[in-house]
Amino acid sequence: MAAVWVIFTVDYVVSLALAKPRGRWFVTHLYDLLIVVLPALRPCAYCASRP
């Protein structure tokens, strides 16, 4: 599962780097950013839920 997340992250970063209007690409692909960021935050949610 981690390999898929890493591949998707690399794809996102490369696509952002190759985009000509980067700002517009970033704004129109916020959903993709959430897909990259949310799995990384999962351990934080686990730690916060523990007493």
Q: Quick one: pLDDT at residue 28?
A: 94
Amino acid at 16: L
Q: Quick one: pLDDT at residue 38?
A: 82
Length, in residues, of the chain? 51
Q: Is the distance from CB of 36 to CB of 8 less than 8 angstroms?
A: yes
Q: Quick one: pLDDT at residue 51?
A: 66
What would the pLDDT profile of 1-34 be if each residue is shown by its tens digit? Answer: 678 888 988 999 999 999 999 999 999 999 989 8
* Cα gap 49→40, rounded to integer Å: 16
CA-wise closest residue to 27 among 36, 16, 13: 16
| pTM assigned to the model | 0.73
* Cα gap 40→34, rounded to integer Å: 10
